[in-house]
Amino acid sequence: MTITWTSGYNINESTPLVKWGPKGKKLVQSPAVTLTFGRYSVCGSPASTVGWRDPGFIHTSFLKNLWPNLKYTYRLGHLLPDGSYIWSKLYSFKSSPYPGQSSLQRVIMFGDMGKAERDGSNEYSNYQPGSLNTTDQLVKDLENIDIVFHIGDITYANGYLSQWDQFTAQVEPIASRVPYMTASGNHERDWPNTGSFYDTMDSGGECGVLAQTMFYVPAENRAKFWYATDYGMFRFCIADSEHDFREGSEQYKFIEHCLATVDRQKQPWLIFAAHRVLGYSSDYFYAQKGSFEEPMGRESLQKLWQKYKVDIAFYGHVHNYERSCPIYQSQCVNSERSHYSGTVEGTIHVVVGGGGSHLSKFSDVAPTWSLYRDYDYGFVKLTAFDHSSLLFEYKKSSDGKVYDSFTISRDYKDVLACVHDGCEPTTSAN
């Protein structure tokens, strides 16, 4: 478990640490590393000019050797040069299940949330009107949530650095109690001539510096925001759509390795996620292009999703909700709508970009593969009951009620079964 916070203390002014342990037991102390960045680290204006704000110091402590499924308490602290301590209030979290462990496991997935002021102030054109509702629904149901994935377009600070503080204050009731995992979006990373795949100015000059410093993810190189993470019966392969994902690229090799190395007997639920829609969307913009996807997306990756039998692929970027049928090469491979069982013949693609930012229009005509579309704010909850049963629920942020759902029931032999473009080699040798 990683714990991250900010302060005004540099390492020559105090020693950052976390005091933690199982609830009701003796607490131990763990050190924290300290990072910061200056104007020279960001890539352009407004981040380096009118949007600049000194970020202070970002401290991260790594709590190791945790017992699975146990409640821990912790305090953030600083040891001052005079020997005195400064402590935060007491927080708590529940440690993750061991990979492969069968227990009730609940996952939240959404993108493009941003932040907002409770009184409506300081928000130009009310750009993220659904943000507070999404946050509030998650806080309300936090006892029934184990891990959160915010898949890109995190704050919409767009180079105005103080808005990162506003966002982290808004999600602190969530992120202080359950893992809050992030992915990189265009509003975090994209800036011309900085190595981003899309040569736009959407990050406002941040070029990924804020996202990769403020949020720790288990990436080999946090400047390349792709990573694999396990949670009990789930394997998550988180791609970075703002870097090259095409066949032959460094990221493509990572994606295949992430999908190929999961033990589906222990972790049957295989999830792919990226910010841009690398799969299927009937968003108005994509429909105008005739692609119903981010160009080069599924052409590059659908062979991997099919070969390794990915259950669900999630995307943000498009600010609405849409669910496809299980699909391969633009063809539905299953006629069911609410319950799937048996062989994994195609991947279900879900756009869940209605976390809070202004909504995106759908095309006038819904493709045959589009089973459910909602022009509203919301998020997805996955509940794994065991190795054979998964519940998918789409909830609106306005009331927290379920508006779309399906279940998956299957056994390990169904994952192993041969499907089109997803068969293991065989031999006739004895």
Alpha helices in 269-310 (DSSP H): 284-289, 297-307
Domains of the chain, first to last: 1-95 (2.60.40.380), 100-416 (3.60.21.10)
Q: Compute the average pLDDT of residues 322-332.
A: 97
Inter-CA distances, 417 with 233, 258, 310, 422, 423, Å: 19, 20, 13, 9, 8
How does pLDDT run across 20-30, given as a tens digit for each residue? Answer: 999 999 999 99
Residue 206's pLDDT band (cuts 50, 70, 90): very high
User: Is residue 423 pLDDT above 90, yes or no?
Assistant: no
- Percent helix, percent strand, percent coil in the chain, to nearest 5: 20, 30, 50
Q: Are 337 and 406 in contact (CB under 8 A)?
A: yes
Position 124 scores a pLDDT of 55
Tokens describing residue 126: 């009310």
Confidence of residue 119 (pLDDT cuts 50, 70, 90): confident
pTM: 0.97
**Strand 234-238 and strand 269-274: pairing?**
parallel
- At 240 the pLDDT is 98
Name the residue type at position 7. Answer: S
Cα torsion angle, 281, 284, 286, 292, sign: positive
User: What integer pLDDT is reported at residue 126 of this predicted model?
Assistant: 60
